[in-house]
């Protein structure tokens, strides 16, 4: 296995204690005289931050999820200056393979760890492709005020100017910071702190891919300090009604994309396959094409919940705007993008099938 270049550059005085790198294995990296530092656990799940390429200039076409948590920690000896860090390899996957089952496993582990008095904060390393989804899922189901920070990298660990090490440092710093507590699940990339509900990946490859269009990021990391300027107003973590502790699966909710000439095939197929919910990622303000509307009505009549979202990526999806949601008994996604609307609907369906209640949840979380 190719190891990150900085692996052996240990800070003077730092002592590393490392163990085998297997799923579930844990590893620690702590400076010897660091008893007063916060305890931060890094849960590693794979992604480009743990990726390796053939050469130092390989920034596309590399292999994600090959470097273990031990090596990620070892590559950033500066972590030992800001926290007593331990690591756990929860999964080792590219994030396009993240599933509902992975989310349930991860959320349960997060809640167990955060309940421990000797854990002050958590960092989750993750592929960037679905990082925003995992972050929002956790934002809705974590039962703690302690900081939870998701982090990834746009360049693999072997690349020139890889962003993984500084992103990981910033994430640990943030998870160790009292200022990050109670703000919901956070994402840090490119020195910017973002809210799980609102952040989205906006670029396939550049370092500034993570953005919160219009609503804005929460703050910056600068000079080894977190600076916060705003907060999301939506409820999260301890304030939600969702509880994953006894869940072993989530209801099937699928996303149907809107585009010119779209027909009913995808909606019909998802419903026939057993979908309990459909997120319609419509054009504009969630408009419903004449050829799709009958399929969505039929889906609702069969009991599936239909949520109107937009493929646009910014703005409020207006209830009773482009469609009469009251009459159709549909739900409006508010400002959630389709992939996050899917997450909220899955969790909502663990509690209720009332569209009135589900609409309330979309205006609450
Ligand atoms: C992934 O999402 O696992 C691959 C892409 C990335 O992490 O940037």
**Is the beta carbon of 338 within 6 A of some atom in ligand 1?**
no
Question: Is residue 155 within 8 Å of residue 163, measured between CB atoms?
Answer: yes
Contacts of 204 (CB under 8 A, 6+ apart): none
**Is the beta carbon of 45 within 6 A of some atom in ligand 1?**
no
Q: Report the alpha-carbon distance of residue 197 to residue 210 in Å, rounded.
A: 13
- Cα–ligand 1 centroid distance for 61 (angstroms): 11
Q: Output the pLDDT for position 184.
A: 98
pLDDT single digits (tens) 134-186: 999 999 999 999 999 999 999 999 999 999 999 999 999 999 999 999 999 99
Atom 2 of ligand 1, nearest CA residue = 127
Instruction: Count CB-CB contacts under 10 A for residue 37.
Output: 17
* Ramachandran sector of residue 191 (left: φ over 0; alpha: ψ -120 to 50; beta: rest): left
Which parts of the chain have pLDDT scores under 70?
Answer: 1-35
- Cα–ligand 1 centroid distance for 134 (angstroms): 13
CA atoms within 13 A on the CB side of 123: 33
**Is the beta carbon of 154 within 6 A of some atom in ligand 1?**
yes
Q: Report the alpha-carbon distance of residue 205 to residue 186 in Å, rounded.
A: 21
Distances from the Cα of 238 to the Cαs of 111, 141, 308, 345, in angstroms? 11, 8, 27, 19
Q: What is the dihedral of CA 255, 196, 155, 342, to 10 degrees?
A: -10
Q: Output the pLDDT for position 5.
A: 40
Bridge-based pairing state of the strands 219-222 and 192-195:
antiparallel
What is the gyration radius of the CA atoms in the chain, in angstroms?
21
**Best mutation site among 49, 91, 95, 204 for ligand 1, i.e. most ligand atoms within 8 A of its Cβ?**
95
CA-65 nearest atom, ligand 1: 3
Instruction: Count CB-CB contacts under 10 A for residue 2.
Output: 15
All domains in the chain, ordered by first residue: 3-239 (3.40.50.1170), 253-364 (3.40.50.40)
- Cα–ligand 1 centroid distance for 49 (angstroms): 8
**Is the beta carbon of 94 within 6 A of some atom in ligand 1?**
yes
Buried b (16+ CB within 10 A) or exposed e, 80-115: bbbbbbbbbbbbbbbbeebebebbbebbebbbebbe
**Best mutation site among 65, 94, 134 for ligand 1, i.e. most ligand atoms within 8 A of its Cβ?**
94
Q: Report the alpha-carbon distance of residue 180 to residue 178 in Å, rounded.
A: 5
**Best mutation site among 96, 99, 125 for ligand 1, i.e. most ligand atoms within 8 A of its Cβ?**
96
Contacts of 6 (CB under 8 A, 6+ apart): 75, 76, 165
Q: Output the pLDDT for position 13.
A: 29
**Is the beta carbon of 129 within 6 A of some atom in ligand 1?**
yes
Q: Which residues are catalytic?
A: 48
Question: Is residue 236 within 8 Å of residue 222, measured between CB atoms?
Answer: no
pTM: 0.92
- Cα–ligand 1 centroid distance for 64 (angstroms): 6
DSSP 298: H
- Cα–ligand 1 centroid distance for 344 (angstroms): 23
Q: Output the pLDDT for position 6.
A: 40
- Cα–ligand 1 centroid distance for 303 (angstroms): 35
């Amino acid at each position: 296995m190719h190891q990150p270049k900085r692996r052996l550059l240990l800070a003077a005085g730092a002592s590393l204690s490392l163990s085998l790198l297997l799923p579930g294995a844990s590893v620690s990296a702590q400076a010897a005289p660091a008893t007063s530092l916060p305890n931060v656990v890094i849960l590693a799940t794979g992604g480009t931050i743990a990726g390796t390429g053939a050469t130092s200039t390989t920034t596309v076409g590399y292999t994600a999820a090959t470097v273990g948590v031990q090596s990620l920690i070892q590559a950033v000896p500066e972590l030992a200056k800001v926290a007593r860090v331990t690591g756990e390899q929860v999964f080792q996957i590219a994030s396009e393979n993240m599933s509902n089952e992975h989310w349930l496993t991860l959320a349960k582990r997060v809640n167990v760890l955060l309940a421990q008095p000797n854990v002050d904060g958590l960092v989750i390393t993750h592929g960037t492709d679905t990082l925003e989804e995992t972050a929002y899922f956790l934002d809705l189901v974590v039962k703690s005020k302690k900081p939870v920070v998701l982090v990834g990298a746009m360049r693999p660990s072997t690349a020139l100017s890889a962003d993984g090490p500084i992103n990981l440092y910033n994430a640990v710093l943030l998870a160790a910071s009292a200022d990050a507590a109670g703000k919901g699940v956070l994402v840090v990339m490119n020195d910017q702190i973002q809210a799980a509900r609102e952040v989205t990946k906006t670029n396939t490859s550049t370092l500034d891919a993570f953005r919160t269009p219009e609503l804005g990021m929460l703050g910056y990391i600068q000079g080894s300090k977190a600076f916060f300027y705003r907060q999301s107003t939506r409820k999260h973590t301890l304030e939600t009604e969702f509880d994953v502790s006894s869940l072993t699966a989530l209801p099937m909710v699928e996303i149907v994309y809107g585009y010119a000439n779209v027909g009913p095939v995808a909606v019909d197929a998802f419903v026939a396959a057993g979908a309990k919910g459909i997120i319609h990622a419509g054009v504009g303000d969630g408009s419903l094409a004449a050829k799709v509307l009958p399929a969505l009505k039929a889906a609702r009549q069969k009991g599936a919940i239909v949520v109107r979202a937009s493929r646009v990526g910014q703005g409020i999806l207006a209830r009773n705007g482009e469609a009469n949601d009251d009459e159709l008994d549909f739900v409006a996604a508010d400002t959630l993008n389709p992939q996050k609307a899917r997450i909220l609907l899955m969790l909502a369906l663990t509690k209720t099938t009332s569209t009135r209640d589900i609409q309330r949840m979309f205006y609450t979380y």
